[in-house]
Every structure is written in C-alpha cells, then in structure tokens.
Amino acid sequence: MSVITLNNENFEQEVLQSRTPVIIDFWASWCGPCRMMAPVIDEIGESMGASIKVGKVNVDENQDLAEKYEVMSIPTFVIIKDGKETARTIGVQPKEEILKLI
C-alpha cells in the first residue's frame, strides 16, 4: 500500500477508524533526520501490503495533530491500533526497529 498524506480532514477515517494498524510519521521538510527516514517509511508502506497502513503528517501543515499527539521531536513514529496509540519511537532507525513496534 502506498503512503498516505494525513491531515485533519482524513485523519479520523484513515487512522482512528482504520481496521489495520497505522504507522504515523510526523515529519517536516527542514528536518534532516526526517529526510533520511523518508525512504525507509516509503519502503515499509510498499513492502507491508494491506496488513498495515503508513501515513505521514507534515507538522508544518498540521500543527494541531502534532500537538494532539504531543510530538516534541521529529521524526516521531507513532503506532495506532483501533484508534489508540500503542507505541512510539523517535529519531533515525532501521526499518526493522519500527516494524518491531507493530
């Protein structure tokens, strides 16, 4: 499944009501570490098929979502299952470490 761009309009449906677990990548274009993680996140989105959903939140454009999830450092990756946060991790890391959280 390709990576979804998340915002206020689609967050409820794509994340909170999702039947599959969702990885949210909170990022910004001016953040070097986020930039380095972009291909890793894309790869997770492509390789995991329909078993998981991958969404990106650009914190510049969606400050309220970043605030709601108390993101204070980017990149932050949050795992949501059945509408609830089950895990999160911060910073550059290999794909496997993120997949472990699911």
Determine which one of 3, 34, 48, 54 is catalytic: 34
| Distances 97 to 26, 43, 77 between C-alpha atoms, Å | 17, 13, 11
Q: What phi-psi label fits residue 70: left (phi over 0), alpha (psi between -120 and 50 degrees) or beta?
A: left
Instruction: State the residues that interact with another protein by CB under 8 A.
Output: 28-37, 59-60, 66, 70-74, 76, 90-94
69 in catalytic set: no
17 vs 29 by CB, closer to another protein: 29
Determine which one of 1, 4, 28, 31 is catalytic: 31
Q: Do 27 and 78 contact (CB within 8 A), yes or no?
A: no
34 in catalytic set: yes
Minimal distance, residue 82 CB to another protein, in Å: 22
> What residues are annotated to the active site?
31, 34
